[in-house]
Homo-oligomer: A and B are copies of this chain.
Amino acid sequence: MFTGLSVFPLTPFDDSGIDEKRFTHLVSRVAEAGVDLIGALGSTGNYAYLTREHRGLVARLAVETAGDVPVMIGIGALTTGEVLALAEDAQNAGASAVLLSPVSYQTLTDEEVFGLYEDVTKELSVPLCVYENPRTTQFTFSDELHGRVAALPNVGAVKTPGAPLDQAPARIAALRNTLPADVAVGFSLDEFGAGGLGAGADVWFSVIGGLLPAECLAITRAVAQGDVPQALALSERMAPFWDLFRRYGSMRVITAAAAHLGLVVPPNLPRPLREIPPAARQEVAAALDALDVRA
């Protein structure tokens, strides 16, 4: 499950809440493309902004629609009590794994983060992926803390931002040195995905793969066939996206791309979040055209 390409579809909204038809369409697209794992309710799926009721609905729809492809559900929330409730909902929906970031308002200490994972993992019957996202959670894991958390029961993978090509081998070696051998390592910043897999990461946790699964599977397959230069060349073709992600955040950019392809109705962002500016939307359209992507 924690291998190859793991993708994070958007959550389409409509006036009544979740746009079920468009969400299941996004899930079907990536399942049919043959991704290894579908991550519903990741940051890209706007989990943090949704009610428990809507998150339960999305989890059920994702599992129903994904067929044989395993589904991982994001269960992050500000309080441990909410996280435990969401973990139960995800497992009841049939999730194969859960994804947990240390969401914060007050900046968390290492002991608080460890305690969160300790409290949650002991209640799980499916594997948990530790989700490190310093930008949204204000928390950076030390390698030592990664090791302590990953040694807890039911931890299956670590999703970490990753590192540029020249630093990826050392980053992965440092993690392998601290993590139990059966815990998978994956990079999550898309621009580092191909290089991370090439340097030996188990999985690429991909935002863009939720929208462009074929293009991303071509990268994972090139790595699997030992052709890392080809994987890097395919990744380089998406460089306009990496630049847009740095400037506007990957979620906002992928939302604009999905809107351009007619897969979500813009703005598809919970206020106060807003669409990227018109000029940036034109860049997104040009980047899709250059890849010859169609919905």
Q: Which residues of A contact B (CB under 8 A)?
A: 43, 48-49, 78-81, 102-103, 105-109, 111-113, 115-116, 119, 135-136, 138, 249, 251-252, 270-274
**Cβ distance A79 to chain B, nearest Cβ, rounded Å:** 5
Contact A271 B119 (CB under 8 A): yes
**CA of A108 to CA of B248, assembled, Å:** 10
Contact B272 A115 (CB under 8 A): yes
**CA of A78 to CA of B78, assembled, Å:** 11
Name the B residues within 8 Å of A135 (CB-CB): 107, 138
Using known A-B contacts A48-B78, A49-B79, A138-B138, determine if residue A107 contacts B249 with beta carbons closer than 8 Å. yes
Contact B79 A274 (CB under 8 A): no
Name the B residues within 8 Å of A102 (CB-CB): 272
Using known A-B contacts A78-B48, A79-B49, A138-B138, determine if residue A106 contacts B271 with beta carbons closer than 8 Å. no
Contact B138 A106 (CB under 8 A): no
**CA of A108 to CA of B103, assembled, Å:** 16
3 closest Cβ pairs, A-B complex: A48-B105, A80-B271, A116-B272
Contact B274 A111 (CB under 8 A): yes
Using known A-B contacts A48-B78, A49-B78, A49-B79, determine if residue A106 contacts B251 with beta carbons closer than 8 Å. yes
